[in-house]
């Protein structure tokens, strides 16, 4: 019997029966008092009925673990690899701890965000964005228990995914890898602009995004100006649209020569379209705005050795000019035949720029995407 434990509680316990009421000094209303049991009978509790402590120990506060303190220190030092290793170990030790999950997911978010921030100064942001996307994916796979943290990682994942998809489509379009007619190219150019502008509306400071938006707008303007088989009114409408689009491209990236060339070409086309069909002899014709000469670069296809690119320039003497890979010291000079060949390229895609003999960028010869094995033709017109 457990009478001693019962007696130790207050006599206000409900429904304990007549025995407990008698122990507290009360009496049953209709029942005669029971004889007092010998004290020895209550002094022999059964061992297996004795109260036992809980079998499941209380989990410690994860944030107070020494491994968490070390992980936070490593995060502050930028040693994200070591920090995530520690937090992965803690999550495995306490798989049901929401705090352990949130700490690990937040570390992945911080790691990916740091890679994006560091890529701002790089010539090509695509490798860093791809690596950051991998960290955001790992954060979602935890997954965090904290709802705002989960939403933040999902947002970064969505932006990085959209950026890589838009950049890949843009680079493929600019290399001329797709065999499309004029109408299809115009539609693809518009689709690329919509993709990069959607990201820009959400995160205008995303690494490398602003020049990509400007280039996409300039490319769309060029496609609007070369559309064929249109009535004069339709050509005028597209030229006006190209003028506005390329003007915005120039505002986003004032150094983008393609935007200036496109805008001037649109203005020239508008002047020509506005010319009267039967002007009097004494009426002077409106002067067209001269279009500045520039280098038009086209990719002829792969064919060079992997890790090398080559280029020939036509229409102007290019001896003494330089082909330089952006953001690196890799450069090659054009020979007397206007040819240049450069090897030692990294495995990822790069961009290159053509510099004249004075070290200045040649109009139209900047930010050209390339990969190992590419052969280019530059035409001066």
Q: Are residues 116 and 144 in the same domain?
A: yes
For residue 233, what pLDDT band results from cuts at 50, 70 and 90?
confident
Among the ranges given (70-84, 95-109, 121-135, 355-369), the one the predictor scored with the smallest mean pLDDT: 355-369
How far apart are the C-alpha atoms of 50 and 46, rounded to whole Å? 7
Q: Is residue 286 part of a domain?
A: no
Residue 230 within a domain: yes
Residues 376, 322 within the same domain? yes
Q: What is d(CA 205, CA 210) in angstroms, rounded to the nearest whole number?
A: 7
* Domain containing residue 134: 64-169
Same domain, 157 and 226: no
pLDDT in tens, 295-351: 888 888 787 788 899 999 988 888 889 999 988 888 999 898 889 999 988 888 888
Separation in Å, CA 313 to CA 140, 298, 335: 49, 10, 10
Do 26 and 69 belong to one domain?
A: no
Location of structure tokens 């070390």: 70
Backbone phi and psi for residue 149, each to the nearest 5 degrees, phi listed first: -65, -45
Rounded average pLDDT over 176-199: 86
Residue 179: the pLDDT is 66
Mark whether 163 and 183 lie in a shared domain. no
Quick check: 154 and 110 in contact, CB under 8 A? Answer: no
Residue 46 domain-assigned (yes or no): no
The answer to whether position 41 is within a domain reads no
State the pLDDT at residue 41: 43
**Domain tally, the chain:** 4
The pLDDT, as a whole number, for residue 290 is 55
Distance of alpha carbon 209 from alpha carbon 224, whole angstroms: 23
* pLDDT value of residue 178: 56
- Tokens at 171, concatenated: 């680079």
Tell me: the pLDDT tens digits for 36-79? Answer: 444 434 444 444 444 444 433 345 688 889 899 999 999 999 99
Q: CATH number for the domain including 310?
A: 2.60.40.1120
Question: Is the model's pLDDT at 284 over the cut of 60?
Answer: no
Clarify whether residues 78 and 158 are in a common domain.
yes
* Residue 38 is assigned to a structural domain of this protein: no
Mean pLDDT of 183-190: 89
3-state secondary structure at position 121: helix
In the predicted structure, residue 10 carries a pLDDT above the cut 90: no
Domain boundary among 126, 147, 169: 169
* Average pLDDT of span 110-122: 93
| Total-model pTM | 0.57
Whether residues 254 and 326 share a domain: the answer is no
Pairing of strands 308-314, 374-380: parallel
Q: What is the pLDDT of residues 351-369, one digit of tens each?
A: 889 999 888 888 888 888 9
Q: What is the mean pLDDT of residues 75-95?
A: 94
Q: Which pLDDT score, from 0 to 100, does residue 118 have?
A: 92
Q: Would you say the C-alpha torsion 327, 329, 334, 339 has a positive or negative sign? A: negative
What is the mean pLDDT of the segment spanning 12-25? 33
Helix (H, G, I), strand (E, B) or coil at 298: strand
119: pLDDT strictly greater than 60: yes
What is the 8-class DSSP label of residue 345? Answer: -
Boundary (domain end) residue, out of 169, 195, 217: 169
Please say whether the beta carbons of 82 and 74 come within 8 A. yes
Q: Is residue 294 predicted with pLDDT exceeding 70?
A: yes
Q: Which uninterrupted H or E stretch holds 40? A: helix 39-42
**What is the structure's pLDDT at 7?**
30
Instruction: Give the per-residue pLDDT at 61.
Output: 83
Question: Do both 214 and 158 map to the same domain?
Answer: no
305: exposed, middle or buried (Cβ count in 10 Å: 0-12, 13-18, 19+) = exposed
Residue 353, classed as helix, strand or coil, is strand
CATH code for the domain in which residue 122 is found: 1.25.40
Strand partners, 308: 343
d(CA 334, CA 341): 8
**Residue 116 and residue 154 in one domain:** yes
Task: Describe the crossing of helices 232-252 and 257-274 by its angle, rounded to 10 degrees.
Answer: 150
On whether both 17 and 103 belong to a single domain, the answer is no
Would you say residue 320 lies in a domain? yes
Largest CA distance in the chain: 139
pLDDT band (50, 70, 90) for residue 4: very low
> 248 and 222 in one domain?
yes
Residue partners of 232: CB distance under 8 A and separation at least 6: 273
> Given pLDDT bands bounded at 50, 70 and 90, which one contains residue 91?
very high
Q: Are residues 303 and 246 in the same domain?
A: no
Chain length of the chain: 381
Q: How many CA atoms lie within 13 A of 377 on its CB side?
A: 10
- Flag whether 366 is in a domain: yes
Beta carbons within 8 Å of 179's beta carbon, 6+ residues apart: none
Read off the tokens for 99. 């705090």
Residue 156 lies in a domain: yes
Mean pLDDT value of segment 98-111: 95
Mean pLDDT for 212-217 is 95
Residue-averaged pLDDT of the chain: 80
Lowest mean pLDDT among 55-59, 103-107, 133-137, 160-164: 55-59
Q: Are 191 and 169 in contact (CB under 8 A)?
A: yes
Counting DSSP H helices and E strands in the chain, the numbers are 12, 8
């Amino acid at each position: 019997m457990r009478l001693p434990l019962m007696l130790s509680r207050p006599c206000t316990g409900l429904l304990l029966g007549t025995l407990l009421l008698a122990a507290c000094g009360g009496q049953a209303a209709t029942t005669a008092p029971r004889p007092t049991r010998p004290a020895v009978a209550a002094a022999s509790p059964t061992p297996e009925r004795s109260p036992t402590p809980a079998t499941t120990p209380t989990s410690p506060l994860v944030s107070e673990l020494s491994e968490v303190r070390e992980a936070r220190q490593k995060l502050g030092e930028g040693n994200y690899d070591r920090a995530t290793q520690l937090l992965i170990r803690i999550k495995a030790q306490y798989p049901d701890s929401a705090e352990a999950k949130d700490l690990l997911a937040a570390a992945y978010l911080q790691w990916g965000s740091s890679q994006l921030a560091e890529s701002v100064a790089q010539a090509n942001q695509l490798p860093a964005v791809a690596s950051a996307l991998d960290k955001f994916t790992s954060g979602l796979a935890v997954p965090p228990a904290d709802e705002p943290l989960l939403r933040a990682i999902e947002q970064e994942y969505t932006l990085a995914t959209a950026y890589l998809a838009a950049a890949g489509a843009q680079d493929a379009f600019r290399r001329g890898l797709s065999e499309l007619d004029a109408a299809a190219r115009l539609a693809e150019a518009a689709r690329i602009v919509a993709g990069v502008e959607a990201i820009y509306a959400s995160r205008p400071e995303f690494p490398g995004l602003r020049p990509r938006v400007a280039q996409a707008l300039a490319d769309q303007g060029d496609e609007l100006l070369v559309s064929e088989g249109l009535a004069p009114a339709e050509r005028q409408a597209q030229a006006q649209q190209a003028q506005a689009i390329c003007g915005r491209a120039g505002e986003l990236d004032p150094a983008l020569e393609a935007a200036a060339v496109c805008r001037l070409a649109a203005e020239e086309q508008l002047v020509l379209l506005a010319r009267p069909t039967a002007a009097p002899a004494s009426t002077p014709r409106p002067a067209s705005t001269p279009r500045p000469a520039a280098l038009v670069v086209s990719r002829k296809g792969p064919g060079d050795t992997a890790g090398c690119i080559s280029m020939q320039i036509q229409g102007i003497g290019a001896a003494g000019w330089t082909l330089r890979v952006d953001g690196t010291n890799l450069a090659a000079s054009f020979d007397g035949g206007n040819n240049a060949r450069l090897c030692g390229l990294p495995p990822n895609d790069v961009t290159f720029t053509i510099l004249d003999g004075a070290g200045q960028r040649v109009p139209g010869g900047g930010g050209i995407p390339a990969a190992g094995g590419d052969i280019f033709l530059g035409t001066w017109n």
